Chains A and B, each alone.
Chain A
Amino acid sequence: MRDLIEKYAGKLARDRSAAPGRIGFAANDDAMVEGGASDLSRLSSDVLSRLSCLGMLAAVPSLPFPEYLVRRAAADVAALVPLDTETRTFLHDIPFVRKEELRADPAGRIASLLSARKGVVAEGIGIVAAGPVTLEQAYIHYSSVFHACYVKYLLDALRDGFRLPGEAEAFRAFREERLPAPSAEGLAFRPGPLGAPEEVLAEIRDVGRYTVERGLVDSFFGNISYRVGDTIYISQTAASLDELSGCVDPVPMDNRSTAGITASSELLAHRRIYEATGATAVLHGHPKFAVAMSMLCDEAGCPVKDCWKDCLRVRMLGDTPVVAGEIGAGGLAVRVPPVIGAPGKAIVYGHGVFAVGRDGFEEAFRSMVAVENRCREEYFRRLDARRGPGQSKSE
């Protein structure tokens, strides 16, 4: 278990979702094992001992957004409800606990919330996430909560401005110092067309890792595929894009074999994109500004309530189409293929970016980078327009 604790602590540090040195794990095999920052690993252990669960993670997020969301919430609110697809599908909501509720028995209070949800935000502590069956799950649930809070905070800040003392200053520091623009520079891509399976698998493995390293996706999310003839090589479901060795399924286009039952839940979308576009590579990530911006709509008086699945419009974010659609067997696989061909990229409402390469992954990767940077620019343009670019005081 100690090797796994080290592994996931390293991933949290590398993907910059947790503050360095402020990560604590506990795992319960036949005895409790702790690792990382002692106060946080002790808290993890205390929480874990009250639940039927294998792993626990408590960490201080690298950004104060989850904390701000709690402090900005109305007094009678007890959970954050981000509206991005990952949250809607997997987390449902994110309960939080305020500092004053943690005085008597913090582990007990957190355990009680985790008895019904995958992760919680504890004010003054950070994010605490459970791994019911594996330690990796605790890491995944932490990532999900962090991602959801990040996106929600971007949207809330744009809509409502800054409300807390120091919030505007912290956000400016985030914008100016903590937010390097994604880029494809310095990365090596194998020129297509690729043919030999070993070559395809190696390129998928490398590009998957690039997407994580360049901040286009948190490790666990997203999927990637390459088509050779009548075979789609696609990342498996629940695979981390920076650990794809042995986690790619070859799936025949005609479904004559079902060995690909473990393929990504977006297999159908990838297949239809190949059928519709003639592309050879598909890359899907969840870059946060693209996710956030896709959820902003100016349509006045629109009767659609569940925009994420029921909106039939094709909106444009710059030159990138935005469509709605549920993941997996939902509408995404129907609505993305018709719009992705000409621009080579599309955003799914609240979910993420699909990008294609006609000849290999480089085009897809550069498209995704461009979409995220364009969305980031547009986000800050709107924020500045709302607040005035020089404003820094709390509202």
Chain B
Amino acid sequence: MLPRENILVVDLTSGRTRREEIPPELLHAYLGGRGLGVRLLRGRHTLPPYDPAMPLIFATGPLCGTAAPTSARLSVVSRSPLTGTVYDCSAGGRFAWRLRASGLLAVLVEGRSPRPVALAITSAGEEIVPADALWGMEIGDTVRALSSRGSVAAIGPAGENGVLFANVMMGEGNAVGRGGLGAVMGSKNLKAVAVDGDRRTPVADRDRLDRARADAMRLFRASPVIFGELGIAAFGTPALVDLMRQRRMAPTENFRRTVFEESSAYSGPAIRAAYGARKDGCFGCPIQCKKSGTDGRHLPEYETVSHFGALNGISDIHAIVRSNDVCNATGMDTISAAATLSAWGEARGRFPSPDEVVPLLRDIAARRGEGGLLAEGSRRVAEALGRPGLSMTVKSLELPAYDPRGAYGMALAYCTSNRGGCHLRAYPISHEILRKPVASDRFSFSGKARMIKIAEDVNAAIDSLVACKFAFFGASLEEYAELLSGATGGHHTPQDLKAIGERVCLTERFYNAENGFARADDGLPERFFTEPGSSGEGIEVPPIDRARFEEELTKYYRIRGLADDGSFPDPAFLSGQP
């Protein structure tokens, strides 16, 4: 059994707040983070994303505030205005830790304030404060203005203006990205949440937790991806630039090609040489994969450099870093922003030049000029321009920087992901490319349906704990179940956690089904079935075999217990869940 936990419910329409205990059976069945957030959406999951009654949920997990590595994180959950799916995103920094230290596992925000406000939370209580003066401010200024109130999660102009891929940004530079939850926050006139808890999180069995932590740390040190001299602790996620180039699966010029010959201009070593790239990262994290320049600026992640780079045909590292800066300042998702520019560029016959990107990004955040259309994301842009096939999206979410023709598990996982074309739901890059925990054949669909299903469940559990997926390039649920047992005093096994993850994944899919999503939405853009990638150096990158893809998708449905059309045989599925 998990210890008792509290949630803060904030009604911005009335201005009322209340703290209440989370029903223990929900914690037992959903843990926290993504799982708890998804469960708390039940009953309101078919509301439009901007409906005042649609909740925006910030949920940490049972490991937050303990010595469990990479666990000072939270998930933010709502319904995405970009995709229309249920949506969650996990983020680190210090916010989650401060939130848990205020005696809360989660905050649920509902309603719409008549004027801009901020929410300030401490261990002693909370208050809704006017934020008219903050409205219009970029992230940095907002965070500085609220710094006396603790750690800050805020939206920038993009969230205020309803950019469909607006982020919620953590004051430490971490992003709640992709699906536009910043726009949901903006629709509630909520500019920021500041938290400043000071309580210690109780740990039931410190010795057990410490032993499990030592086990996890040994695995981190044994993982070349984490602590290897070429790994993410040393170079950040841009360590993947050279690898993706070598594997010939770096999306280039809106996925027309899969090799960008100039990618070494923004590789991990190149960024280190140009900007210093000192270690930075989330509270208490031993990996510190985030990198900051010697001037303190947050340096871009792999997907950001690759999409502002190869996807738009740009090799100017400084232009890429400036693009990242603008997205961080205005509160926009870098993957969707870069991919939308790329689709737009292909449609008009010219990708944006390095000098054009920053002004375009500012126009998007302000919904000014062409930015008004670009703020809608690539699917809507491509449709508006009469070229719907140029949007490289699944369920309207722009694909990240792993070309699906170079990793078939990734191709399948983009489509089965409940939040759209995301690499992090099943994260098959782990075994298809990074060989963790073991290698799988990236050019084969064999066994991938089962692998993807299991990995989705595992990652849903990780997102509910909430831990960082990078930890699982070394450790596994074996160690994290033991960390949880140490933290709570209960007995948790990896299988228990996978069962929770499965419940979360099915619940999300059920919500999506009730919002009209079906098998037709679980498909890749046509380009990947008809056009090859960039073959060479002994690596063939053919188009994906559509029949084999569809066969494996059907297998996935069967393994999940779904009908062959991806629907639920039991329309009363939800009522059977806690």
Chain A residues within CB distance 8 Å of chain B: 1, 27-30, 51-54, 88-90, 92, 115-118, 132-137, 140, 236-239, 247, 251, 255-265, 267-268, 271, 326-330
Contacts of A134 in B (CB 8 A): 431, 438, 440, 447, 451
Contacts of A51 in B (CB 8 A): 495
Q: Does B368 sit at the interface, judged by CB under 8 A?
A: no
Q: Is the CB of B438 within 8 A of A133?
A: yes
By beta carbon, the residue of chain A nearest B229 is A268
Contacts of B246 in A (CB 8 A): 259
Q: Is the CB of A29 within 8 A of B447?
A: yes
Contacts of A251 in B (CB 8 A): 230
Q: Is the CB of A30 within 8 A of B558?
A: yes
Instruction: Determine the main DSSP class of B at the interface with A.
Output: helix
In angstroms, Cα B199 to Cα A350, docked, is 43
Indicate with 1 or 0, residue by residue over B201-243, a CB within 8 angstroms of chain A CB atoms. Answer: 0000000000000010011111111011111000100111111
Among B231, B447, B558, residue most surrounded by chain A Cβ atoms (within 10 Å): B447
Chain B residues within CB distance 8 Å of chain A: 215, 218-225, 227-231, 235, 238-243, 245-246, 264, 267-269, 431, 433-440, 446-447, 449-451, 454-455, 457, 476, 478, 481, 493-496, 498-499, 502, 555, 558-559
In angstroms, Cα B264 to Cα A265, docked, is 23
Contacts of A92 in B (CB 8 A): 215, 478
14 A–B contacts, CB within 8 A, in A order? A28-B450, A89-B219, A117-B478, A134-B451, A239-B439, A247-B439, A255-B269, A256-B269, A258-B268, A259-B242, A259-B243, A261-B230, A267-B229, A268-B229
In angstroms, Cα B494 to Cα A116, docked, is 6
Q: Is the CB of B222 within 8 A of A328?
A: yes
By beta carbon, the residue of chain A nearest B430 is A133
In angstroms, Cα B454 to Cα A135, docked, is 14
Among A117, A256, A268, A329, residue most surrounded by chain B Cβ atoms (within 10 Å): A329
Contacts of B228 in A (CB 8 A): 261, 263, 265, 267-268, 328-329
Q: Is the CB of B436 within 8 A of A238?
A: yes
Contacts of B245 in A (CB 8 A): 259
Q: Is the CB of B495 within 8 A of A30?
A: no
- Extra contacts besides A29-B450, A261-B240, A261-B242 (6): CB < 8 Å: A30-B559, A117-B478, A257-B264, A258-B242, A258-B267, A261-B239
Contacts of B224 in A (CB 8 A): 237, 261-265, 267, 328
Q: Is the CB of A54 within 8 A of B450?
A: yes
Q: Is the CB of A137 within 8 A of B437?
A: yes
Q: Is the CB of B227 within 8 A of A329?
A: yes
Q: Is the CB of B227 within 8 A of A261?
A: no
By beta carbon, the residue of chain B nearest A131 is B438
Cβ of B199 to closest chain A Cβ, rounded Å: 31
> 5 smallest A-B Cβ distances: which pairs?
A115-B495, A329-B227, A328-B222, A259-B242, A30-B555
Contacts of A27 in B (CB 8 A): 447
Cβ of A30 to closest chain B Cβ, rounded Å: 4
In angstroms, Cα B435 to Cα A140, docked, is 14
By beta carbon, the residue of chain A nearest B268 is A258
Contacts of A260 in B (CB 8 A): 230
Contacts of A239 in B (CB 8 A): 435, 439
Contacts of A52 in B (CB 8 A): 454, 457, 495, 498-499, 502
Contacts of A264 in B (CB 8 A): 224
Contacts of A136 in B (CB 8 A): 438
Contacts of A328 in B (CB 8 A): 221-224, 227-228
Q: Is the CB of B454 within 8 A of A116?
A: no
Contacts of A115 in B (CB 8 A): 493-496
Cβ of A333 to closest chain B Cβ, rounded Å: 9
Contacts of B499 in A (CB 8 A): 52
Q: Is the CB of B454 within 8 A of A53?
A: yes
By beta carbon, the residue of chain A nearest B552 is A30
Cβ of A377 to closest chain B Cβ, rounded Å: 31
In angstroms, Cα B243 to Cα A27, docked, is 31
Contacts of A54 in B (CB 8 A): 447, 450-451, 454
Q: Is the CB of B222 within 8 A of A89?
A: yes
By beta carbon, the residue of chain A nearest B245 is A259
Cβ of A327 to closest chain B Cβ, rounded Å: 5
In angstroms, Cα B229 to Cα A205, docked, is 24
Contacts of B495 in A (CB 8 A): 51-52, 115-116
By beta carbon, the residue of chain B nearest A330 is B221
By beta carbon, the residue of chain A nearest B474 is A328
Cβ of A73 to closest chain B Cβ, rounded Å: 21
Q: Is the CB of A238 within 8 A of B221?
A: no
Cβ of B492 to closest chain A Cβ, rounded Å: 9
By beta carbon, the residue of chain B nearest A268 is B229
By beta carbon, the residue of chain A nearest B431 is A133
Among A54, A260, A267, A271, residue most surrounded by chain B Cβ atoms (within 10 Å): A260
Among A239, A259, A263, residue most surrounded by chain B Cβ atoms (within 10 Å): A259
Contacts of A53 in B (CB 8 A): 454
Cβ of A184 to closest chain B Cβ, rounded Å: 29
In angstroms, Cα B434 to Cα A316, docked, is 37
Cβ of B184 to closest chain A Cβ, rounded Å: 33
Among B224, B437, B495, residue most surrounded by chain A Cβ atoms (within 10 Å): B224
Q: Is the CB of A238 within 8 A of B264?
A: no
By beta carbon, the residue of chain B nearest A236 is B435
Contacts of B437 in A (CB 8 A): 132-133, 137, 238
In angstroms, Cα B245 to Cα A256, docked, is 14
In angstroms, Cα B229 to Cα A263, docked, is 10
By beta carbon, the residue of chain B nearest A327 is B222
In angstroms, Cα B493 to Cα A115, docked, is 6
Choice from B218, B447, B476 contacting A88 with Cβ under 8 Å: B218
If A89-B219, A133-B440, A134-B447 touch, whether A262 touches B435 (CB-CB below 8 Å) is: yes
Q: Is the CB of B225 within 8 A of A29?
A: no
Cβ of B200 to closest chain A Cβ, rounded Å: 28
Q: Is the CB of B227 within 8 A of A263?
A: no
Contacts of A117 in B (CB 8 A): 478
If A52-B454, A133-B431 touch, whether A258 touches B218 (CB-CB below 8 Å) is: no
If A268-B229, A329-B227 touch, whether A258 touches B269 (CB-CB below 8 Å) is: yes
Q: Is the CB of B267 within 8 A of A257?
A: yes
Contacts of A88 in B (CB 8 A): 218
Q: Is the CB of B455 within 8 A of A133?
A: yes
Q: Is the CB of A262 within 8 A of B433?
A: yes
Q: Is the CB of B219 within 8 A of A238?
A: no
Contacts of B440 in A (CB 8 A): 133-134
Q: Is the CB of A140 within 8 A of B218?
A: no
In angstroms, Cα B435 to Cα A238, docked, is 6
Q: Is the CB of A116 within 8 A of B478?
A: yes
Contacts of B558 in A (CB 8 A): 30
In angstroms, Cα B230 to Cα A256, docked, is 10
Cβ of B515 to closest chain A Cβ, rounded Å: 27
Q: Is the CB of A257 within 8 A of B242?
A: yes
Contacts of A28 in B (CB 8 A): 450
Contacts of A327 in B (CB 8 A): 221-222
In angstroms, Cα B441 to Cα A135, docked, is 12
In angstroms, Cα B559 to Cα A29, docked, is 8
Choice from B218, B219, B238, B450 contacting A30 with Cβ under 8 Å: B450
Contacts of B439 in A (CB 8 A): 236, 238-239, 247
In angstroms, Cα B241 to Cα A69, docked, is 48
If A115-B495, A118-B478, A236-B435 touch, whether A258 touches B241 (CB-CB below 8 Å) is: yes
Q: Is the CB of A255 within 8 A of B229?
A: yes
Contacts of A326 in B (CB 8 A): 218, 221-222
Q: Is the CB of B230 within 8 A of A258?
A: yes
Choice from B222, B243, B451, B555 contacting A265 with Cβ under 8 Å: B222
Contacts of A30 in B (CB 8 A): 449-450, 555, 558-559
Contacts of B225 in A (CB 8 A): 237, 261-262
In angstroms, Cα B238 to Cα A234, docked, is 22
Contacts of B238 in A (CB 8 A): 258
By beta carbon, the residue of chain A nearest B215 is A92
Choice from A118, A247, A267 contacting B230 with Cβ under 8 Å: A267
In angstroms, Cα B241 to Cα A135, docked, is 30
Q: Is the CB of B498 within 8 A of A257?
A: no
Contacts of B227 in A (CB 8 A): 328-329
